[in-house]
Structure 1
């Protein structure tokens, strides 16, 4: 079957995401080790990640609405991927804390710069009937990078243990490939948005102007995001239950592999049966996983749960973007998707901070149990919600 809805632009943007995630995930397993080796405390690592994610979260909405106003997406995509690629070799140049903060913030600023515009460009290339498949295909390609990246890092460290800096330089190569592919993308002329560009500190002003159905769906997803902490907590729990570092990284690769393989079929099913059903099913899977990991101790149990977690991600990540992009006016797609992504990033920052405190005070049982319960409640809300039409 020929998949004509996968246009040249969609293929190129998906390849860009694959190369970029390959570069980023090459560094994911070793970043905490490297930071500790150059003198970062756990607290300073937390501050670093908090500042970086806040930068990404705040900038997604701002640059998304800016791309709407100009009626152009591609410059934001090219500059965003360029900044992220440049940040990788910077970490190999100096080990000073201020320089590391600069490099990490530059990486996240690049993500904020490109995310809304890239997702809007994907949305512009398709129709409401095929958006699930398109966003699912993009997530699949992106996540294959997350499979390859940690595998490359493991092979590198097995060959040259402790040689982190050269790995940062090597990570620039797939980043450079991503930049080269963005130069091949061509975008169609589109109608600019009539809305003025809000200042950076009012980046999420689209929320007040958004259709009621957008606020209903995104509001429910944001409540879930406030309790959906970083995947690092799942990896940490597996490590504390006695699994080796290599096994934990292997579970992370397995999760990403399941996610990558299931993302496109999940997108197809969302087009066939509706994104609401896929999202509800995905949230219920999340609840099962988080209830299960609190009790898991054996490798087989963690393997099964990480596999289900990959199915949850496939059923929610791309599907949610496809659904949200259908709840806004076409000229406002960048602002709508940027606002959703930005608010989700900030909510994830709160979720991870809260999870850390709950873990410290009451242990992992409450941390994962509470998140699972909230996921079930949001699934019920989305299943029963009567979406209000836009007012004219």
Structure 2
């Protein structure tokens, strides 16, 4: 545990508290929105706009963080905006206000993501990045276990009183902000000529980024285009006969597996190689999606969601560790922010694409398509990238 510094501990605790607040609301968000008059279409538009804001802002603020040489203000303000957005959604219930509050929440995520991941990278060495990012993902995802459990307990005693949950979620959110304030920038790097960073300036990073980065991110984005929202997995589980409570329980089970395995898998990735670990995770994704597409028995979903938790642990933190190892240290926030930005946009498109395939050809076709495309991505990353860019494999192995 020597690789886990005080800064990493605090950042991970901040993420745990913030995810507790967010995931406390995740299972009830659609129910709450419908209870105040939102249609399914309006909910979809709301989430689409929110993801677009998060996606574009991740790249911009990542670039701004690298350009300014500062990290902590982006992290602290990002968590603050996310904290105050929760009770804002319960104060007024007009569509315009709900859109504003939800956008503030996603803007906070975009503000902090690149800078936070750059701090994690700076706190690690190339030989410990899998462990560091894995530990952070474990703590972050533990919040995704605690949050829904708290929501279930609350709703057990106060059925359908969704609004109060948004007020309660302010507590862990503010605790997260308080912990974030304990951190200060180390070795602040001042620029001689700060200049101006435009909102879309992070797109320019793609032009001068290293070739290994471009090739890796291109493969990851193709995968993301078919990696739709987990809502579709939960919907398929519901259609297979699970009760509403059962769906929430299997979602909590998935997050628990993810939380418990992210740190040990990240540590293992440092020894076996980031690329090998990541490809193993993609293989599990392909197996899970093929299984979900053809499964009709509720009990099978616990086995599939167990594998899905292992997949998430082997890819989410590992991909960021890999990217940070193949890019210049001064561009870490920009590189991760740019990837996260494009990833958010592709994820938004993925849900639309999956919904269309599901509507036209059925759920089995939607999940099978994602499984097949993932196999091609595995072949691309496993063979093509290492063959044409040996330096990429050297950096990641």
Give the TM-score normalised by structure 2. Answer: 0.96
- How has the CA–CA distance of structure 1 residues 77 and 277 changed in structure 2, closer, same or farther, with 3 Å as cutoff? same
Per the alignment, residue 103 of structure 1 pairs with 101
Deviations, residues 119-173 of structure 1 (Å, cap 9, x unaligned): 0011111110000000000000000000010111111111100111111000000
Per the alignment, residue 2 of structure 2 pairs with 4
Distance 1:4 1:16 in 2: 20
Alignment of 1:173-322 (within 5 A): 173-191=171-189, 198-322=197-321
Per the alignment, residue 332 of structure 1 pairs with 331
Is this contact kept in 2: 1:192–1:331, CA < 8 A? no
Distance 1:320 1:223 in 2: 14
Per the alignment, residue 23 of structure 1 pairs with 21
Distance 1:226 1:295 in 2: 21
Per the alignment, residue 71 of structure 2 pairs with 73
Instruction: Find the residue that maps to 1:347 and give its secondary structure.
Output: helix
Superposition deviation, residue 198 in structure 1:
3.9
Deviations, residues 18-75 of structure 1 (Å, cap 9, x unaligned): 0000000000000000000111010000000000000000000000010001111000
Is this contact kept in 1: 2:68–2:194, CA < 8 A? no
Pairwise CA RMSD of aligned residues? 1.3
Is this contact kept in 2: 1:59–1:203, CA < 8 A? no
Deviations, residues 55-105 of structure 1 (Å, cap 9, x unaligned): 000000000010001111000000000000010000110111001000000
Superposition deviation, residue 388 in structure 1:
5.8
Is this contact kept in 1: 2:81–2:108, CA < 8 A? yes
Is this contact kept in 2: 1:58–1:203, CA < 8 A? no
Superposition deviation, residue 214 in structure 1:
0.6
Instruction: Find the residue that maps to 2:200 and give its secondary structure.
Output: helix
Is this contact kept in 1: 2:87–2:167, CA < 8 A? yes
Is this contact kept in 1: 2:288–2:308, CA < 8 A? yes
Distance 1:209 1:5 in 2: 32
Count of residue pairs the alignment pairs up: 388
Superposition deviation, residue 265 in structure 1:
1.0
Instruction: Find the residue that maps to 2:93 and give its secondary structure.
Output: coil
Per the alignment, residue 360 of structure 2 pairs with 361
Per the alignment, residue 379 of structure 1 pairs with 378
Is this contact kept in 1: 2:131–2:266, CA < 8 A? yes
Superposition deviation, residue 269 in structure 1:
1.2
Is this contact kept in 2: 1:69–1:197, CA < 8 A? no
Range that drifts further, 291-300 or 302-311: 291-300
Q: Pick one of 134, 137, 142 that aligns with 1:136.
A: 134
Instruction: Find the residue that maps to 2:307 and give its secondary structure.
Output: helix
